Amino acid sequence: MNNFQYSRASEVADALRLLDADPGAKLIAGGTNLIDLMKENVERPSRLIDISRLPLRDIEETADGGLRIGALVPNSDLAYHPLIEQRYPLLASAILAGASAQLRNMASVGGNLMQRTRCAYFYDTTTPCNKRSPGMGCSALDGLNRNHAILGTSTSCIATNPSDMSVALAALGALVHIAGRTGKRTIALTDFHRLPDDKPHLDTNLGSGEIITAIELPPQRFARNYRYLKIRDRLSYAFALVSVAAAVELEGNAISEARLALGGVAHKPWRTPEAEAALRGQAATPDHFGRAADLLLQGATARSHNGFKIELARRAVVRALIQATSTTPQSQARKKIA
Amino acid sequence: MADITIPERIPINLVVNGERRALELTPWTTLLDALRDRLELTGTKKGCDHGQCGACTVLVNGRRVNSCLTLAVMKDGAEITTIEGLAKDGALHPLQQAFIDHDAFQCGYCTPGQICSAAGLLAEGRARDADEIRELMSGNLCRCGAYPNIVAAIEQAMSRS
């Protein structure tokens, strides 16, 4: 780990001032990803601004019946919060599918959105990586790319976003509240992360002088028919090869509203209006689920080792929708296929 | 010559296993290194040093965390419990006794982290059966493969708590 200066912020305005004063500074909250990257010399901040004591730990109901979640709420506290368990079980399930109990105790909601890819070449400073060192080239394109993206890729980068929480937030239509020196703004979670194009060093649309203050969940909760299905190489404590957040509302056996987002397949949670539109008004049948999966995966392309992900994702979408529509029990601790 | 500024050491206070400890640390000192190298509490183990194995698990204000990914300066004022702090008045913690009863280790290197993690799990109150113990202990690896006995030990401690 490199030597760095340490500052502790007590108000959001402090943190913004400190960020402005030192272009090499980084914010730290839980630190679970940043400290790891610093140990690998991938991140070398000149200063860490400790924001863990900022007053951003509340979970409050909004006027329209949604929830506003402070950016510093630990992942475990969010997953186990009674209002999340009751109203947004898709989000609770996705969070509990990620990381370990220790890491979930440490990691903040805002930090979860800011975590970086686990592409092995991004971590390995002896290999070229456009995300780590823009213009150096991408080692994954013709390397060991079994874990890599099949959607929204570019010739610069095929890394995936590793977050489970973000996939559920994308499906739920969450908003991200941001503060900067010039004021506050709010953007959709689906616009927060970006595709790599020719600037893969930028994971998100957060400005360099900005800070996430909260996540907002809209009133529509999908508390009955939902599924977060995560497919991975071992049954716990592993990143997704493919994950699916599926949520529907049913009238009888007909789908009146549908949400589908994929994780592990792109540089951001992958959600398309076409796939969801294809489900609305349809009967909840595997045929219709398959058609929605095909639409969601339209344009998927494989590299040498990750072609299996396309069919895996298609089957995972179908299974997640079958489970969501049949209210299959959802515990991430039960590993048998229901 | 590069302009290198060496930061001042930062004074912090920790309450470690019930005892107040004052330290002056460089900001990049992890809680794990502070415990082992400065406070000589070497029960907490450095395994992967990247948050993947759980050997460094300790309780910070009663919650289990990976001390290798925690900067000590950020925990100024916190209460830390390590494996050395679990036994009370000469009596083993129920989890320590359960690990012995069930032979829940072979080499023992992961054991302090396993036991601190299990103490966190008991405090969280979320695990009700073996499946849930397995899931909520997945952040602690045991390369000797003592997992069935670790689960049995935690079930014993859970049933008696």
Task: Give which of A102, A106, A108 to mutate to test B binding, by max B Cβ within 10 Å.
Answer: A102
Residue whose token pair is 């990586």: A129
| DSSP category for residue A174 | -
Q: Which of B85, B110, B143 is the last residue of a domain?
A: B85
On whether both B21 and B48 belong to a single domain, the answer is: yes
CB neighbours of residue B23 within 10 Å = 18
B76 and B141 in a common domain: no
- Quick one: CA torsion of B116, B119, B120, B123, rounded to 10 degrees? -160
Report the alpha-carbon distance of residue A301 to residue A316 in Å, rounded.
Answer: 17
Rg of chain B over Cα atoms, rounded to whole angstroms, equals 17
User: Residue B79, by phi and psi: left (phi above 0), alpha (psi -120 to 50) or beta?
Assistant: beta
Domain identity same for B17 and B50: yes
Residue A145's pLDDT is 98
In a domain, B4, yes or no: no
Nearest to B131 among A32, A35, A333 (CB): A333
Number of domains in chain B: 2
Q: Which residues does A327 contact at the CB level (< 8 Å), separation at least 6?
A: A224, A225
Interchain CB distance below 8 Å, B137 and A101: yes
Pair B75, B99 in one domain: no
Verify that B16 and B58 share a domain, yes or no. yes
Residues B63 and B99 in one domain: no
CA A305/CA B51 separation, integer angstroms: 27
Domain assignment present for residue B5? The answer is: no
CATH code, domain with B15 = 3.10.20.30
Q: Which residues of A60-80 are buried (b: 16+ CB within 10 A; e: fewer)?
A: eeeeeebbbbbbbbbbbbbbb
| SS3 call for A280 | coil
| pLDDT tens, per residue, chain B with 161 residues | 455 566 689 999 999 999 999 999 999 999 999 999 999 999 999 999 999 999 999 999 999 999 999 999 999 999 999 999 999 999 999 999 999 999 999 999 999 999 999 999 999 999 999 999 999 999 999 999 999 999 999 999 999 87
B50, part of any domain: yes
- Same domain? For B80 and B137 the reply is no
Shared domain for B45 and B25, answered yes or no, is yes
Of A335, A220, A271, A207, the C-alpha closest to B132 is A335
Interface of B with A in 11-70 (CB under 8 A): 26-28, 30, 49-51, 54, 57, 63-66, 69-70
What are the tokens at A214?
A: 């909260």
- The alpha carbon of residue B118 is apart from the nearest alpha carbon of chain A, in Å, by 10
Chain B residues in contact with A335 (beta carbon < 8 A): 131
Among B67, B85, B103, the domain boundary falls at B85
pLDDT at position B7 is 64
Tell me, yes or no, whether B27 and B53 share the same domain: yes
Q: Does residue B76 share a domain with residue B16?
A: yes
Residue B78 lies in a domain: yes
Cβ <8 Å between A105 and B135: no
**DSSP states of chain B as a string?**
----PPPPPEEEEEEETTEEEEEEE-TT-BHHHIIIIIS--TTS--SSSSSSS-TTEEEETTEEEEGGGSBGGGGTT-EEE-GGGS-BTTBPPHHHHHHHHTT--SS-TTHHHHHHHHHHHHHHT---SHHHHHHHTTT---TT--HHHHHHHHHHHHHH-
Contact B70 A80 (CB under 8 A): no
User: Pairing state of beta strands A67-70 and A5-8?
Assistant: unpaired
Determine contact, residues A204/A192, Cβ cutoff 8 Å.
yes
Q: Which of A77, A30, A6 is nearest to B69 (CA)?
A: A30
For B:60-89, CB contacts with A below 8 A are: 63-66, 69-71, 73-74
* The pLDDT of residue A13: 97
In a domain, B2, yes or no: no
Instruction: Report pLDDT for B4.
Output: 58
Q: Which of B69, B74, B136 sits opposite A36 (nearest CB)?
A: B69
User: Does B77 lie in the same domain as B141?
Assistant: no
Closest by Cβ to A333, choosing from B63, B124, B132:
B132
Closest CA to A304 of A134, A158, A130: A158
Contacts of B5 in chain A (CB under 8 A): 5
- Per-residue model confidence (pLDDT) at position B5: 60
Identify which of B6, B65, B73 has the shortest CB distance to residue A106.
B65
Alpha-carbon span B44 to B23, nearest angstrom:
18
Domain of B136, CATH number, reads 1.10.150.120
The helix (run of H) or strand (run of E) holding residue A288 is helix A286-296
Q: Is B1 contained in some domain?
A: no
- ipTM of the shown complex: 0.96
Residue B47 forms part of a structural domain: yes
Contact B6 A28 (CB under 8 A): no
Expressed as residue numbers, the domain containing B44 is 10-85
Facing residue for A101 by CB, picked from B6, B10, B120:
B120
Q: Which residue positions in chain A have pLDDT lower than 70?
A: 337-338
Tell which of B54, B85, B116 closes a domain.
B85
Please indicate, yes or no, if residue B130 is contained in any of the structural domains: yes
Examine the domain organization and report whether B72 and B110 are in the same domain: no
Chain A residue with minimum CA distance to B48: A36
